[in-house]
Structure 1
Amino acid sequence: MKLTYEKKQHLILLNELFIIILLCFYHLNNVDTEASSILSLFIISIMLIFSAYVSFSNLKSNGILSQFSILLILNSWEFMLFQYNNDFTLKAAILLGIFINYKIVTFLMMFIFQNSYYKYKTSTNTILKIVCFVTLISTLNMRFISITLFLQWFISLGICLFLFTIHKNRLIFFLKNERKNLIYTTTIIVVPYLIYSLTFLKNSNYLSNSALYVIVMLPLFSILSIIHASRPELKTYVNLSFKNKALILALLLCFILVIGAILKFDVISYFIIIHSIVFFVLLYLALTYKNILTKQDSLIIGMQSFYSSSLRQILKEENLRKDFSNYLHDEILQDLLSIKNIVNKAEKPKIKELIIQTLDNLNISIRSQMQEYHPTILQSLTLKENFKNLLNSISERYHGNNVKINFNCDDKFFLVEPYNLIIYRILKELTTNSFKHSNCNNLWISLYEENKKIKLIVENDGTDLPNLENINCNSHKGLSSIKEQIIFLDGTVKMSKRKPSGLCTEVNIPMKGDNSYEYFINR
C-alpha cells in the first residue's frame, strides 16, 4: 500500500524516536565509545538527518526521493546495530546488510535510468531478488555467509555492468548531465573517505562497513538538486546565506558542547541531544503541515510558505480528479444506465444492434480517455515508432481529410521520462488541431535534439490558427495547457505563418542536467 505524505512523516518521527531510545539504552549499558564508534554515530546522525530532510521535502511522494530516504534509514540502522557488539545485534545487522545490498543496486538503477522502464529491467530485478533471498537463507549456517555475501556483490556488479553496456547511450547521457553533482559528491564524500581510509588502513575497526556510506551517499548533490528544482520556495523559506547557516550550526554545536562539558556528558549523550532536537523540529513541521491542511484559508498563502507550491499543485490534481469524475458520470454511467434499461428487450434485432453500438462507442471513448490521461508508449518499440503509431491513429480518425503526413525523426532518437510523454501530448495536440482546423493537404513534422534542446516543428499548408499568446482558454483548452506546460519547463513556443500558406509551430524545451528527470517535473 502506498503511504501518504502524512503517514511517512509519522514513520520518520517514529524512527527518530526509536533511535533516541536505542541511544539511551547504549548509554545506560555503557556501550563502548572509542573513536571508531564516534565516527559511526556521526555518520548515522548525518544520514538520519538528511533522510528526514528528503522525506519532509517530498510532498508529492516522488519515488526516487522516497527510496533514497528509506535507504539512508536502513543503512543507519545497520551501523547502529553494529555498535552493540553481541550475537543478536550482529546477526540482525548482517541480515539487514544483505537486504541493503539489494536495495542499493535497485536504487542506483532506478536513479540512473530516471525511474523509467529499461530493457531487461524485470529479469535483472528478479535475479537480484533471488540472490538476496538465497543470501538471507545462507545466514542459517554462518560458515557460508562470507561466500554468499561475496557472490551477492559479484552478481550485483555483473548485472550493473551488463545493463550499462546494453544501455550505453543512456548511461552517457546521465553522466554528462550529472557530472557537476558527481564532482561535488566526489569532493565532499569520496576524497575525504579515501584520505580517512589511508590514514586508518591498519585498523580495521575504523573502516568496518564505512564503504556502504560512500555508495549510498553518491547521489547526495543530485538529490539536493531534485529537491531545489521541484521546490524552489525552499530557498525563500530558508533565505540565509551559506555563511549564516554554517555560523548558526557552529554556534548550536558549541552550545551543546559547553553544556555537555559543564554537566560532564559522555559521547552518546551528545548524540541523544542532537537527535532529540531533530525529533522536535520534525514534530513541529509535521504539526505545521497538518494545521495547513485543516485550515480552509491556508490555501491562499504567499510564496514564503513552506508548503504553498505543493498545495497549489494538489489543487490542480484535485481538478483533474474532478474532470475524470465528471467524465465517468456524464459519459460512461449514462451509457451504462441506458443499456441496463433496454437489456430486457435485447432479443429484438434493432435493440441488440443499439446495445452493440453503444458498447463499441464506450470502448472507443474509454481508450481515448486513457490515452488522454496517460499515453501508452510501448517499451518494445523505439520512440520514433511510437510517435508514428500516434500519427497513424490520428490520420485514421480523420481519414476523410486526406492529409499526407511527413515525419522526420532519427531512428535512434530517445527522450528520458517524462519528456517522452510531454512531447507525445504536444505532438498529438498540434497534429489533431492541424487535421481539425487548418484544412491542410500536407503536414510536415520534425523532431530532434539540438544544443541540449528538444525541438519539435509542426508545419502545414492550410490556414492559420490563433496565436498562442492570445489563446481563448475555453475554445482551445488543449493549446492553452500546452502553453502552460512548455513555459513551466522553461521552454518556448513560436507560431508563425508558413509561406505561401499555412502555419509553422516550433517548440523548444531544454533537456539538461537538473531538468532531465521525471522527478524534476512538477506535473
Structure 2
Amino acid sequence: MQRNYLKREILIFFNQFLLVAFLCGMSSGGALLPGAHALHFTLLTALFWNAYSIVDRNARGNAVLSQFAALMVLFSWHFLLGLFDAHQAVWALSVFLLPFCFFQLVNFAQAFLFQGSAYRGKKAFLAALRLLCLACAIAFFLDSRTFFLLYYAQLSFSLVGCIFLSAAHRKRIWFVLRSQKKQLLSSALFVLLPFSGYAALFFKQESRVEQLGLYLIAILAFVSIYRIFFRAVPREENIAVPGRRTAAVFFLLCILSLSLAAWIARLPVLTVFLVVHLIVLWILLYRLILCFDASRSQGSIPPQKKPSDFYEGVLTSIRREEALRQDFSNYLHDEILQDLLSMKNLIRKASQPDVGRLLEETLQKLTASIRSQMQFYHPAFSNALTFRENLQAALDSIQRESGTVLSLDCADTVFLIEPYAMPVCRIAKELVQNALKHAHASQVIVKLQQENDEVFLQVKDDGIGLFASTDDLRAHRGLASVREQVGLLQGSISIRAVPKKGTNISITIPMKGEESYAHFIGR
C-alpha cells in the first residue's frame, strides 16, 4: 500500500511539472490571454488542486477514487489546452483528448454508481468503449473526418449504453439519488450561486462568460461527487491542519490578493497563473520528499481515517467486526494452514504407511475445516461477479460438501450497497449451515429481495424444525450470532418452526445509503 501511494504521489508531481513546463513554453512563445480568462484559470487551478487532494487522501488506493482523480486531471488539461486555440498544435492536442475524457467519464460514472462491483454486460460494454476510444486515437493521426465520425459513434454508443444501464438498474440509480439528495442539493447551491452572480455581473461581456456552461456542468459534477465521497471523513485533530472552510477562505484570499497584485502591476494573466502553479509544484515536491523519507525510514504513510459511523455507531461496529474477521482469516491462512500443509508433506515420508495414511486423512479433514471457517469469517467476494453470483458461489461450495439440495431465488438486478453485501452473505451462509447441522434438512431454499430501501432474506428448510423460543435460540450459537448481526444492522428476524416439517426464517434489514460511499472508500 505504501509503495503504491508513493507512486501516485510521483504521478501527480510529474503532472504538475508538465503543467508548469507547458505554461513556461506558452509564455516564452509569446502567448497572450485576455484578462477575461482569469476565471477560467482560477477554476482550472481548483480542479487540478482537488485532483491532487483526492490522490493525497486516497491512502488505501481505492480504484474508483483513482479514476475520479484521473477524470479531473483529463478534463482540466482539455479545458486548459482549449484556451490556447490560437495555437494549432495545442488546439489539436485538446481535440485529441476528447475521446479519452469521454471514456474516462463513462468508466468512472458506472464504477461510481455500482461501487466497483460487477453487473451483467459490464465487460462487453467497457471493452467496446475501449475499442472505440483506441480507434479514435488512431484515426486522429490518419484523417480528421474519420476521427470525428468515430468520436460521434463513441458518444452515441455510450449514450445508448448508459440509457440501457439506467433502465435495467433504475432502482439502484434512484436509491443513490435519494440517499445522497442532501449532498447534491448543497453542492448545487454551493456552485450555482457564485456562478449565477458572476454571470449576472458580466452578462454583457461575452468574452467573460463564454464556455461558462461547460465549466458549470463540470464543476457541479465534480463538487457533488467530492462531497458524497468525503462527507463523512473527519479531518485529523491536528492544529497544523486547517479545516475545509478555513482552507477555502485561505485559497480565496490568496487568489484575490494575487489578482489585485497582478492588476496593480499590470501582470499578464498567464504570468500569474504560472506563478501560482509554481507554488503548487513546490508544495507537491515537499510532500513527495516527506513520502520518500517515510519510506526510507520504514515508517508508514498515515492511512486515511475511516469515515464516521451512522445511526448511533452501527456502522463502526460492523467495520470493526469485518476487520477482525478478515485478520483472523488471514491468520488461519498464513500461519496454521501453511504449517499443516508442511506437516502433510512430511508425513508422506513416514516409515509406517498405516499411521501416515491416518494422519494424512486427519490433516485433510482439518485443512478442509479451516478453509471452511475462513470462508465463514470472511467470504471471498469477487468484483468480477454480481452479488447474486457471489452468493450462488458460496451456496454451491456448501452444496458440494454436504450433498444437500440448495436453491437460490434472487434476481440479477438485486443490489446491496456497502457495507451490507458481506454481512448479508454471511448471514445467509450461517442460516444454511445451521439448517444442515441442527435441523438435518435435505433441501434448503434461500430467497433474497431488495425493495423500498429494505433487504428481505428468507431461508426455508424441510428439516426436523427448530423451536422459536428464546431459550432454544440461545442454545444454538449460529442463530444467536445471526440475531446479533441482524441487530447491529437494525433489522428484524422472524422464526417459524414446525416440528418435523421444517423451519422458515425471515429477516428484514433496512438499507441506508447516506454513509455508503464513505464506507466504500474507507474499507
TM-score (normalised: structure 2): 0.72
Q: Does 1:25 align with 2:30?
A: no
Look up the match of 2:47. Answer: 47
Deviation at 1:81, TM superposition (A): 2.9
Match of 1:179 among 178, 181, 188: 181
User: What are the Cα deviations for residues 306-355 of structure 1, in whole angstroms up to 9, with x where unaligned?
Assistant: 95659x999x9799568625534422443245335526999x79978976
Q: 1:451 to 1:289 in 2, by over 3 A?
A: farther
Look up the match of 2:4. Answer: 4
Deviation at 1:13, TM superposition (A): 2.2
Aligned pairs for 1:325-364 (under 5 A) are 327-339=333-345, 342=348, 362=367
Q: 1:61 to 1:318 in 2, by over 3 A?
A: farther
Root mean square deviation, CA, Å: 5.4
Match of 2:374 among 369, 372, 378: 369
CA contact (8 A) 1:454 1:509 kept: yes
Look up the match of 2:516. Answer: 516
Distance in 1 of aligned mates of 2:238 and 2:442: 52
Look up the match of 1:163. Answer: 165
Q: Which is worse superposed, 289-298 or 143-152?
A: 289-298
Q: 1:12 to 1:258 in 2, by over 3 A?
A: same
User: What are the Cα deviations for residues 352-404 of structure 1, in whole angstroms up to 9, with x where unaligned?
Assistant: 89768866875675466356444347988874x865775686588679xx9x9
Q: Which is worse superposed, 205-214 or 436-445?
A: 436-445
Look up the match of 2:134. Answer: 133
User: What are the Cα deviations for residues 125-173 of structure 1, in whole angstroms up to 9, with x where unaligned?
Assistant: 1111111122112112123333222222122111111221222222222
Distance in 2 of aligned mates of 1:103 and 1:180: 26
Look up the match of 2:96. Answer: 95
Q: Tell me which amino acid in the other structure corresponds to 1:276.
A: L
Identity %: 21
CA contact (8 A) 1:116 1:417 kept: no
Distance in 2 of aligned mates of 1:165 and 1:171: 9
Distance in 2 of aligned mates of 1:102 and 1:59: 25
Look up the match of 2:330. Answer: 324
Distance in 2 of aligned mates of 1:450 and 1:358: 45
Q: Tell me which amino acid in the other structure corresponds to 1:33.
A: L
Distance in 2 of aligned mates of 1:291 and 1:464: 59
Look up the match of 1:220. Answer: 223
Deviation at 1:417, TM superposition (A): 4.6
User: What are the Cα deviations for residues 101-137 of structure 1, in whole angstroms up to 9, with x where unaligned?
Assistant: 1111111111122221111111111111111122112
Give SS of 1:218's match.
Answer: helix
Look up the match of 2:312. Answer: none
Please list every run of 5 or more consecutive structure 2 residues that lacks an aligned counterpart in the other structure: 308-315, 461-465
Look up the match of 1:269. Answer: 271
CA contact (8 A) 1:446 1:456 kept: yes
Q: 1:442 to 1:432 in 2, by over 3 A?
A: same
Whose relative contact order is higher, 1 or 2, with alpha carbons under 8 Å and at least 6 apart?
A: 2
Q: Which is worse superposed, 78-87 or 101-110?
A: 78-87
Aligned pairs for 1:302-313 (under 5 A) are none
Q: Tell me which amino acid in the other structure corresponds to 1:30.
A: G
Q: Tell me which amino acid in the other structure corresponds to 1:99.
A: F
Distance in 1 of aligned mates of 2:169 and 2:87: 44
Q: 1:77 to 1:51 in 2, by over 3 A?
A: same
Q: Which is worse superposed, 173-182 or 278-287?
A: 278-287
Q: Tell me which amino acid in the other structure corresponds to 1:151.
A: A
User: What are the Cα deviations for residues 456-483 of structure 1, in whole angstroms up to 9, with x where unaligned?
Assistant: 699952745669xxxxxxx99x959x76
Q: Does 1:423 align with 2:421?
A: no
Distance in 2 of aligned mates of 1:522 and 1:442: 39
Deviation at 1:68, TM superposition (A): 0.6
Look up the match of 1:65. Answer: 65
Q: 1:350 to 1:33 in 2, by over 3 A?
A: same
Q: Tell me which amino acid in the other structure corresponds to 2:21.
A: I
Aligned pairs for 1:380-395 (under 5 A) are 383=388
CA contact (8 A) 1:408 1:446 kept: yes
Distance in 1 of aligned mates of 2:467 and 2:324: 40
Distance in 2 of aligned mates of 1:177 and 1:225: 10
CA contact (8 A) 1:493 1:506 kept: no
CA contact (8 A) 1:115 1:518 kept: no
Q: Tell me which amino acid in the other structure corresponds to 2:66.
A: S
Q: Tell me which amino acid in the other structure corresponds to 1:375.
A: A
Q: 1:235 to 1:497 in 2, by over 3 A?
A: farther
Q: 1:509 to 1:368 in 2, by over 3 A?
A: same
Distance in 2 of aligned mates of 1:521 and 1:509: 23
TM-score (normalised: structure 1): 0.72
Deviation at 1:62, TM superposition (A): 1.4
Q: Tell me which amino acid in the other structure corresponds to 2:162.
A: C
Q: 1:281 to 1:203 in 2, by over 3 A?
A: same
CA contact (8 A) 1:110 1:116 kept: yes
Q: 1:134 to 1:209 in 2, by over 3 A?
A: farther
Distance in 2 of aligned mates of 1:318 and 1:345: 42
CA contact (8 A) 2:78 2:98 kept: yes
Q: 1:284 to 1:25 in 2, by over 3 A?
A: same
Q: Tell me which amino acid in the other structure corresponds to 1:420.
A: A
Q: Tell me which amino acid in the other structure corresponds to 2:115.
A: Q
Q: 1:29 to 1:157 in 2, by over 3 A?
A: same
Distance in 1 of aligned mates of 2:60 and 2:290: 17
Q: 1:60 to 1:159 in 2, by over 3 A?
A: same
Deviation at 1:290, TM superposition (A): 6.1
Distance in 1 of aligned mates of 2:102 and 2:71: 10
Distance in 1 of aligned mates of 2:328 and 2:378: 13
Look up the match of 1:257. Answer: 259
User: What are the Cα deviations for residues 49-68 of structure 1, in whole angstroms up to 9, with x where unaligned?
Assistant: 11111111111111221101
Q: 1:135 to 1:446 in 2, by over 3 A?
A: closer
CA contact (8 A) 1:233 1:306 kept: no
Q: 1:17 to 1:412 in 2, by over 3 A?
A: closer
Look up the match of 1:302. Answer: none
User: What are the Cα deviations for residues 56-95 of structure 1, in whole angstroms up to 9, with x where unaligned?
Assistant: 1111111221101011112222233334443433332222
Distance in 2 of aligned mates of 1:107 and 1:271: 29
Distance in 2 of aligned mates of 1:90 and 1:127: 27
Distance in 2 of aligned mates of 1:504 and 1:431: 11
Q: 1:509 to 1:98 in 2, by over 3 A?
A: same
Q: Tell me which amino acid in the other structure corresponds to 2:279.
A: I
Deviation at 1:279, TM superposition (A): 3.4
Q: Tell me which amino acid in the other structure corresponds to 2:30.
A: N
